[in-house]
Structure 1
Amino acid sequence: MDFDFAELPENDRYRLLSNFVGPRPVALVTTVDEHGCNNAAPMSFFNVFSHEPPLLILGMQTRPDGTAKDTVANIRRSGEFVVHMVDMAIANEMIVTGINFPSDVDEIEFAGLTSTPSVKVAAPRIQESPCAMECKVLQILDYGRRTIVIGEVVQMYVRDECMDERGRYVRPQVYQPIARLHADNYIVAENQFVLKRPTELLHHEGAAGYFAATMR
């Protein structure tokens, strides 16, 4: 099947892209409004963008009536947010935060999660998350109803048991984030496997430079 995106309706473009580009990591994003009320919302148009500088990217849509969602409004005002990774222990709570609550509802509290102060930003960290990244906004790009936020990670929290003894590498048997596939379907990173570069090719003339350039 071929699909001409110039002719395809918006909902069909979304369906195709979100169905086939996956699994996509889930970001549970916390912000705080001008009255000090906490906000939390999940999003799967999200990924790490760079390590130098350390950048994350979020993609967020307006509400159907065209108004900005609380997360976007809070990020524009404060220039700060916290991204949390989600594992099975808080998967149901993450879904609850995605409900379209009134702006004065603290989704963290409503979902039964625990707020704790962040180190460098005003937005709170969710204590139950295995990993949290405090971010400062570097750039906001608007494309019609879509807002893209590029944030720089300024502080990162990782639960101790998720890291090895030296604090360098993740323990895959412990840290098993969930990711979104399509519609209401998700997947958990519990069936992990290792793929290594073929050593016989690494000794081939020119292969070392090729792999170094293409496998970053």
Structure 2
Amino acid sequence: MDIKPSDLSVRRLYEAMTAIITPRPIAWVSTIDRDGVCNLAPFSFFNGVGANPPTLMFCPANRPDGTAKDTLANIRANGQFVVNVVTEESFEEMKHSALDVPAGEDEFILAGTQKSASSLVAPPRVSDAAAAMECELLTSMQLGVGPGGANLVVGRIVSIYVAESVLDEEHRIDPEKLHTIGRMGGPRYTKTRERFE
């Protein structure tokens, strides 16, 4: 079967892409608005871009009414964000933070997770995150318009937090201790404990 993107609704195309592009890492992005209210939301169109300079990207889609989500609006307003790593241990809190709530509500409170101050940026990180990358906005680009319209955010990593619990004896990140999860199609996720070389 051949699928022509132009023959599908945005929703059906999204479903097809997210069923194929798997597993996807999850950026649990914390931002802060102009009034100092924190926002926390997960995005699974996310990945690293490169190490020189250290950069990552994620793609927040527009709301159903075509407006920018709070995460994107906050980043455009102050140019900073934190990408918290999602692990098996933080799965439930991450799911709660995905609920669509009005602007001005603190999703840290909604998700039942605590904040910790970041080193170099204003938005806090998730206290219990196994790792978090503090970023300054390099560029953002509107790729689509209207409901579900894609937006690209590229950030330069300015500081990285790593919990002692996921380090080995040489203070390197031990993949066997970092129980990240990946997003599959629909409401499904996968664990990353099974590995091979």
Task: Identify whether the pair has TM-score above 0.5, normalized to the shorter chain.
Answer: yes
Where does residue 52 of structure 2 map in the other structure?
Answer: 52
The one-letter code sitting in structure 1 at the alignment partner of 2:122 is A
Q: 2:130 & 2:97 partners in 1: Cα distance?
A: 17
Aligned length: 193
User: Could you say what secondary structure the match of 1:71 adopts?
Assistant: helix
Where does residue 2 of structure 1 map in the other structure?
Answer: 2
User: Could you say what secondary structure the match of 2:101 adopts?
Assistant: coil
User: Could you say what secondary structure the match of 1:82 adopts?
Assistant: strand
CA contact (8 A) 1:48 1:56 kept: yes
Where does residue 200 of structure 1 map in the other structure?
Answer: none
Aligned 1:62-101 pairs, distance under 5 A: 62-101=62-101
Instruction: Say if 2:165 is the partner of 1:165.
Output: no
Where does residue 181 of structure 1 map in the other structure?
Answer: 184
Select between 184-193 and 76-85 the one with higher mean Cα deviation.
184-193
The one-letter code sitting in structure 2 at the alignment partner of 1:4 is K
Q: 1:12 Cα shift?
A: 2.1
Q: 1:13 Cα shift?
A: 1.6
Q: 1:174 Cα shift?
A: 1.2
Q: 1:172 Cα shift?
A: 2.5
Q: 1:88 Cα shift?
A: 1.1
Instruction: Say if 2:21 is the partner of 1:21.
Output: yes
Q: Comparing both chains, which one has the higher relative contact order based on Cα–Cα distances under 8 Å and sequence gaps of 6 or more?
A: 2
CA contact (8 A) 1:109 1:115 kept: no
Where does residue 113 of structure 1 map in the other structure?
Answer: 113
The one-letter code sitting in structure 1 at the alignment partner of 2:142 is D
Q: 1:42 Cα shift?
A: 0.4
Unaligned runs of 5+ in 1: 196-216
Q: 1:7 Cα shift?
A: 2.8
Q: 1:178 Cα shift?
A: 0.6
User: Could you say what secondary structure the match of 2:190 adopts?
Assistant: strand
Q: 1:90 Cα shift?
A: 0.9
Q: 1:95 & 1:156 partners in 2: Cα distance?
A: 23
The one-letter code sitting in structure 1 at the alignment partner of 2:93 is E
CA contact (8 A) 1:172 1:192 kept: no
TM, length-normalised to structure 2: 0.95
TM, length-normalised to structure 1: 0.87
Unaligned runs of 5+ in 2: none
